[in-house]
Structure 1
Amino acid sequence: MSQKPISDFIEKHYLHFNAASLVDAAKGYNKHLAEGGKMMVTLAGAMSTAELGKSFAEMIRQDKVAIISCTGANLEEDIMNLVAHSHYKRVPNYRDLTPQDEWDLLEQGLNRVTDTCIPEEEAFRRLQSKIFKQWKGAEEAGERFLPHEYMYKMLLSGDLEQFYEIDPANSWMLAAAQKNIPIIVPGWEDSTMGNIFASYCIKGELQPSTMKSGIEYMTFLADWYVKNSEGKGVGFFQIGGGIAGDFPICVVPMLYQDMEMDKIPFWSYFCQISDSTTSYGSYSGAVPNEKITWGKLDMDTPKYIIESDATIVAPLVFAYVLGW
């Protein structure tokens, strides 16, 4: 019996079109790592609510990921799934919902993401007192941290263990915290936890300065990239579009143009999984070659684009990279 049932199936059947692009990208990912390269993975959309952690956590544990960029929603939603999974509600007929149906979900405290409803009370509120404890403790000690660092502290404190409702091995945030892997979270304020933090600032219970900013994320990333881009360099594996990818990829032209570091390497691998098609002014749908003109990719950087649903494609690529 094959020890790599998923990988073998992919190699046998995924021979053309987007399927072939998936295989090429996965093989390119493995080649990049085998040659000593490091990989950034960026998460947009609702990949944590899609339970990507079932494969992504193992990618982190096996050192297939060196650094992550994600939206504030993905940062928190993995932990929400960890502590409130049994309270999630699936709505398979979501396309048929009326405005009244949507209102009824709201009144039940269910916030819908396509066919999956996040339980507000059990998810957000279960975390709120624990994360506030981290925020307030830092402020009282005169300390400041980045958004993900507070979440790492909360996870590693053990405060949430009593609430775990899934196998903790399937939480990518917990795996990342245990590895202390760097995370970039651009636009963190545009998240539920960001809104909660803002509410405490409005009420005068916290100061905005207790939370480090997006600019501080970029300065951290710039320093990290300079230290990690020698040799084979750093690859860029982008799941979806948006700020999770747009923000970190710009570190290279910033270092080259604004810091005048004319020897800084380009990203040395690029793959994007997206169902956004190329159109007028669409950045998420832009083909990788457009990034050459912005000083992000080199002419000979391996480039892949898989135009498909990331919730289907990303776990398959990860399974291939992991040799499943």
Structure 2
Amino acid sequence: MKVTQFLKDHYKHFNAAALIDAAEGYKAHLNDGGKMMITLAGAMSTAELGIILAEMIREDKVQAITCTGANLEEDIFNLVAHDFYERIPNYRDLTPQDEQALLDRHLNRVTDTCIPEEEAMRRLEHTVLKYWQKADQAGEAFFPHQFFYQILLSGDLEQHYQIDPKNSWMLEAAKKNLPIFVPGWEDSTLGNIYTGHVISGDIKNVHTVKTGIQYMMELAEWYTQTATEESTIGFFQIGGGIAGDFPICVVPMLHQDLQRTGVPLWGYFAQISDSTTSYGSYSGAVPNEKITWGKLGVNTPKYVIESDATIVAPLIFAIVLDK
């Protein structure tokens, strides 16, 4: 039985029904000529969402991605160091001493998965530093994802690949030159490393890597050129935080601050959230609250699935891909 048929046979109510509705709404939006942005919070790349997200990119089911700096780099960490990762299925039972022992082995834990510092972070640092310094010396500046695109397309890392490259969403995005927006990139391992190299003087110009305000300017230009009344842009949000809040704000910014009143609102909205609806929480805010901020309209299709994104996102993508 196909995954889609199984889900439609059994997912009838509550969050299960919301999953089906959001997936069908995603497909309808694309079939009507719309575009889709996916936003990635949390540790989706370390959870290996890239296996199916790469396929979504190949099949043109996503036209832009906004993600944290961690998700940007962690897909490449997994690409070059997968065999050195360690899974800790009993992570809830770890003592502080157990955690210290992992640190002593240079294993950085993300829930049940440990990222190996030397094979992942330092291996990528050695490569990306060359690209940062080359741009710095030439007086050039690029966005974080553009540096990664250069590295991936150069083949410099191919000798280190430890997964099937078709399962790297960053590699698939690089091949298509997919628009990516990375708010708060400095809040990432490589963002911290870059800061260290600026402080130590290895990089002379802090602006060699473009960041937040420039990303918002780039997003404003992309949205203005891409969104039309006939082809609106949908917003599929995985998790909450800056990965979702930053890009969705581009619409009220265009309307209220730039007076571009002809720009359409987001044409579809869905969120997978494990944040309880609560007082003052952006991640837990119901979609209708976004109407008051000029992000969504009264008639915008809106869906929320309150569940674990590592379970839900692959199922929704499977339906979108007609699996």
Partner SS state of residue 126, structure 1: helix
Find 1:225's aligned residue among 207, 220, 223.
223
Q: Determine whether 1:161 maps to 2:158.
A: yes
Residue 89 of structure 1 corresponds to 86
Residue 116 of structure 1 corresponds to 113
* C-alpha separation in 2, matches of 1:105 and 1:218: 38
Matches within 5 A, 1:137-156: 137-156=134-153
Unaligned runs of 5+ in 2: none
**Aligned partner letter, 2:296:** L
* C-alpha separation in 1, matches of 2:130 and 2:152: 12
Partner SS state of residue 293, structure 1: helix
Deviation (angstroms), 1:232: 2.9
Q: Determine whether 1:201 maps to 2:198.
A: yes
* C-alpha separation in 1, matches of 2:131 and 2:215: 19
Partner SS state of residue 181, structure 1: coil
Find 2:10's aligned residue among 8, 13, 23.
13
Residue 214 of structure 2 corresponds to 216
Runs of 4+ aligned structure 1 residues displaced above 6 Å come to none
* C-alpha separation in 2, matches of 1:151 and 1:281: 36
Find 1:106's aligned residue among 95, 100, 103.
103
* C-alpha separation in 1, matches of 2:130 and 2:155: 13
- Between the two proteins, what is the percent identity of the paired residues? 68
Query: Alpha-carbon deviations, 1:123-151, whole Å to 9, x = none?
Result: 00111111011111111222100011001
Residue 279 of structure 1 corresponds to 278
Matches within 5 A, 1:185-200: 185-200=182-197
Deviation (angstroms), 1:192: 0.4
The TM-score normalised by the length of structure 1 is: 0.98
Residue 181 of structure 2 corresponds to 184
Deviation (angstroms), 1:32: 0.3
Residue 292 of structure 1 corresponds to 291
Residue 263 of structure 1 corresponds to 262
* C-alpha separation in 2, matches of 1:192 and 1:316: 30
* C-alpha separation in 2, matches of 1:162 and 1:120: 18
**Aligned partner letter, 2:73:** E
* C-alpha separation in 2, matches of 1:261 and 1:255: 6
Partner SS state of residue 293, structure 2: coil
Partner SS state of residue 194, structure 2: helix
* C-alpha separation in 1, matches of 2:119 and 2:240: 29
**Aligned partner letter, 1:249:** I
Residue 244 of structure 2 corresponds to 245
Using the TM superposition, name which of 288-297 and 206-215 deviates more.
206-215
Deviation (angstroms), 1:205: 1.0
Count of residue correspondences:
321
Q: Determine whether 1:129 maps to 2:126.
A: yes
Deviation (angstroms), 1:39: 0.2
Over the aligned positions, Cα root-mean-square deviation in angstroms equals 0.7
* C-alpha separation in 1, matches of 2:319 and 2:227: 25
Using the TM superposition, name which of 67-76 and 262-271 deviates more.
262-271
* C-alpha separation in 2, matches of 1:90 and 1:212: 34
